[in-house]
Chain A
């Protein structure tokens, strides 16, 4: 078990108030413990945590490039094995670095089976460069490169299913998690690290600046993603879903309405067909992962 009082991601970093990724870094390092080497890709987390000559990382940390974190981790893992050292290698990379530009590097590292844990903090767009669309951006989200407009409802494609892709590589442990459920997240990090071979955790980490909400709402919004079925927390062991968080589902409206990136679905008028399409995504998730808690019929 992790020492829950241990803080390995220090205060004083430059993240926005209410940053989901900063919380992710804190919780992940807490769960991983001091015998960890962290590899970051280029992105918000790298920038807000290491403005030279200051660093927020109290564990060994390296950032090389945007697209190569998994390859750098491969090299570290090989080096540690050769030296007989015991540190665990944990990648923390954003969704752009994971879903898009780093995809080849991740695929290679997972196929080769290096012993490391890859954590994608998923804030569903390129936040560091100014909220551009990534392969993790959800359907209809307005970003600066998938803007809603008079003839567009924003991002035209649903999220890429990265956990499934990495499970298909034969990864022994794949999980999704949310910063709104820290105990679950930390348990998953511990499990991933303890699993021999490459593990993947996709961590939902809302971005107040990119999604358009107040910084004190980060946890509430992350929770709503789970409660509406638009984000499912689950575990896959050897490619099979073994556990998924069950919920009494709320309509997707309750999640979408909280964020400016979906505002065009409600103003100037409600876009029923689009909202229904998003509801259908949540319904499919619910069916696929079996997350619906069936309430007993109400008695009169």
Chain B
């Protein structure tokens, strides 16, 4: 049994980052405290930079990565928002930094509790985005993230997102990979270009309108190519460690489902339990878990949901004035299919979502309800 944050820290250690740069913020702190402890006790051979804020945390990673070191940071919520500018910059310079996001709501009002508004709001920054269902996945996805991010075809940074408190502070059994095995999977960081006096290059130049569009195109192309790289890398991980991450989505009792629930992160566990109950009562319900949100697995989603009658998307985020980010993508993937997609924005700011809520959402979806905030306390409005 290990706490989620500590499982993540152990995985990060096994990835051998040479520079760790982070700033404390709840609920990310246990990860960076654990890493600092490893450095202090020679369990991790890294420079640990205790920066003055998150903007500098990621900026130091930019410098370290450009100079040729594997770099790591972790943050959440307000901290990630403070990194907004650096996130775009790191991706634009094609620096394969990996950052853990212990997902948390955005203020105001201030909330330290979980939803996924923080990382979802950075969906356009050019980072790969992985979402973990449990602490096993949270740990494992770090190995995968580094390997995919550093692939010569990709060279883009990656978020590994796992729900704050719900996973980060929860103890679960986690199968820990040994350093020896990790080294077999993840080779040393060897970027094709780095800041090096022996071969000077310029990073982060400015581009006129004659050049800018092509830079963005190349980033988009790389992110889309990551679908194949994730497939191959996930297969390799599976063959070494027995846990297969070759697919960006995962179905649960979905084969003959009439109603499908789509969501990301730890909520998948609750949904699976609710599905088991509903299945026992004869209801044909299944789950499609989305593990990789960027690149978005459009084709995999469309294929996995092609046979269902209706879809309920559970979004722990809201693009205010529109819909949840996941629902928008799922609707795009299913466009023209005639399958009804209903969005349920729920669980924001740590509001608990229980099995009975999932059952109610399924009933509402069957009754063609949806595209709403689920679980509102009407008496407060």
- Contact at B63–A75, with CB atoms within 8 Å? yes
A75-B59 contact in complex given A65-B89, A80-B67, C-beta closer than 8 Å: yes
A111: chain B residues at CB < 8 Å are 52
Interface segment, A51-59, A277-285, A291-299?
A51-59
Q: Per-residue 0/1 for B22-63: is the Cβ within 8 Å of any A Cβ (1 yes, 0 no)?
A: 000000000000000000000001110111110111011111
- A64 lies within 8 A of B62 (CB): yes
Q: Mask for A3-38, Cβ within 8 A of B = 1, else 0?
A: 000000000000000000000000000000011110
Within 8 A of A (CB), among B189-232: 195-197, 200-208, 211
Q: Complex Cα distance A252/B63, Å?
A: 43
Q: Which residues of B contact A50 (CB under 8 A)?
A: 202, 204-206
Question: At the interface, yes or no: B375 with Cβ under 8 Å from chain A?
Answer: no
A74 to B47, CA, bound (A): 10
Pick the contact of B211: A52, A67, A77, A109 (CB < 8 A): A52
Q: Is A141 an interface residue (CB 8 A)?
A: no
A62 and B197 contact, CB distance less than 8 A: no
A79 near B64: Cβ-Cβ < 8 Å: yes
Chain A stretch 69-89: residues in CB contact (< 8 A) with chain B: 70-83, 85, 87
Counting chain A CB atoms within 10 Å of each CB, the highest count among B19, B63, B66 belongs to B63
User: How many residues on the A side are at the interface (Cβ–Cβ under 8 A)?
Assistant: 46
Min CB gap B210→A, angstroms: 9
Contact between chains at A71 and B19 (CB < 8 Å) = no
- A108 at the B interface (CB under 8 A): yes
Chain B nearest Cβ from A148, distance in angstroms: 32
A158 part of interface (Cβ distance < 8 Å)? no
Asked whether A60 lies within 8 Å of B86 as measured between CB atoms, the reply is no
Interface centre among B19, B46, B56 (most CB of A within 10 A): B56
Q: Tell me, yes or no, whether A104 is within 8 Å of chain B by CB.
A: yes
In the bound complex, CA of A46 to CA of B202 (Å): 11
How many B residues, CB 8 Å from partner? 43
**A71 contacts B195, C-beta separation under 8 Å:** no
Distance, CA A143 to CA B64, complexed state (A): 37
Which residues of chain A come closer than 8 Å to B60, judged between CB atoms? 71-72, 74-75, 78
Does residue B235 face the partner (Cβ distance < 8 Å to A)? no
Known: A60-B196, A72-B63. A82 touches B69 (CB 8 A): yes
Complexed CA–CA distance, A53 and B208 (Å) = 10
Contact status of A52 and B206, CB under 8 A, knowing A58-B200, A78-B47, A80-B67: yes
Shortest CB–CB separation between residue B40 and chain A, in angstroms?
Answer: 16
Chain A residue, CB-CB nearest to B200:
A60
Residues A71 and B51 in contact, CB atoms below 8 Å apart: yes
Question: In the complex, what's the smallest C-beta–C-beta distance from A42 to chain B, in angstroms?
Answer: 9
Complexed CA–CA distance, A60 and B201 (Å) = 5
A36 touches B197 (CB 8 A): yes
Taking CB atoms, residues of chain B closer than 8 Å to A65 are: 59, 85-86, 89
**Are the C-beta atoms of A64 and B205 separated by less than 8 Å?**
no
Tell me whether A47 is interfacial, beta carbon within 8 Å: yes
Distance from B127 Cβ to chain A, minimum over Cβ atoms (Å) = 16
Known contacts A51-B206, A52-B211, A105-B52; decide if A76 and B197 are in contact (CB<8 Å): no
Q: Does B18 contact A (CB under 8 A)?
A: yes
A37 CA to B60 CA in the complex, in Å? Answer: 15
Q: Among residues 73 to 101 in chain B, which have CB atoms less than 8 Å away from a CB atom of chain A?
A: 85-86, 89, 93
The answer to whether A74 and B51 have CB atoms under 8 Å apart is yes
Whether, in the assembled complex, B314 has its beta carbon less than 8 Å from a beta carbon of chain A, the answer is no
Which among B49, B85, B86, B93 has the highest number of chain A CB atoms within 10 Å? B49
Docked CA distance A63–B59 (Å): 11
Q: In whole angstroms, what is the CA distance A37 to B47 when docked?
A: 19
B269 within 8 A of A: no
**Residue in B closest to A8 when the chains form the complex, CB atoms:** B200
Extra 11 A-B pairs, beta carbons < 8 Å, given A55-B205, A64-B86: A50-B202, A57-B202, A61-B201, A64-B93, A68-B56, A71-B51, A71-B57, A79-B47, A82-B69, A108-B56, A109-B56
Interfacial residues, chain A to chain B (CB-CB below 8 A): 34-37, 39, 46-47, 50-53, 55, 57-65, 67-68, 70-83, 85, 87, 104-105, 107-109, 111-112
What are 16 A-B contacts with C-beta separation under 8 Å? A46-B206, A51-B206, A52-B207, A61-B200, A62-B204, A63-B205, A71-B51, A71-B56, A71-B60, A72-B60, A75-B63, A76-B66, A79-B64, A85-B67, A104-B53, A105-B52
> Which positions in B face A, CB cutoff 8 Å?
18-19, 21, 45-47, 49-53, 55-57, 59-69, 71, 85-86, 89, 93, 195-197, 200-208, 211
